[in-house]
Amino acid sequence: RDRDRDRDSNRDRNTRDRDRDRKEKRRKDKKDKKEKKSKNKDKDKDKTNDNENVTDKTQDEQVNNGHIKNKKPAFRTEMIEVILNDRLGKKIRVKCNNDDSIGDLKKLVALQTGTRPEKIRIQKWYNVYKDHISLADYEIKDGMGLELYY
């Protein structure tokens, strides 16, 4: 019993020490963050003052110096290869861009198979893909396999 009590008291002491150390670390981290924020605010104020003084630059250049940059598009256009399986023994490989629509993909498949694009249905499991939505919106990647029905 005495051993158990001593062991339990040591556990309590260890957890208290650990908790105290965590609290101290959190306080330090908060102070560091506040200091960084205040330094960044001072730098931003200096930059805005510099931008106001310069009249030679265009408005776009001034905005870019103020850390507001042009947004990148959600995806880049790149060539991908999509594998379409018709479940009857035919696998079709089609190269296309990831910003192409499903309708464009159907046209490319139609050229290879000889069927009309209106008759083609592309799906993955139970999701039937709609013609006007792009491959990137469906998150279709390079080498991905889709089901082809016609």
Q: Among candidates 47, 54, 48, 74, which has minimal Cα distance to 135?
A: 74
Q: What is the C-alpha separation between 119 and 37, in angstroms, rounded?
A: 60
Residue labelled with tokens 């479940």: 87
Of 57 and 46, the structure prediction assigns the larger pLDDT to 46
Tens of pLDDT, residues 73-94:
555 688 999 999 999 989 999 9
Q: Which helix (H) or strand (E) holds 62?
A: helix 59-65
The pTM assigned to this predicted structure is 0.50
Confidence class for position 14, pLDDT limits 50, 70, 90: low
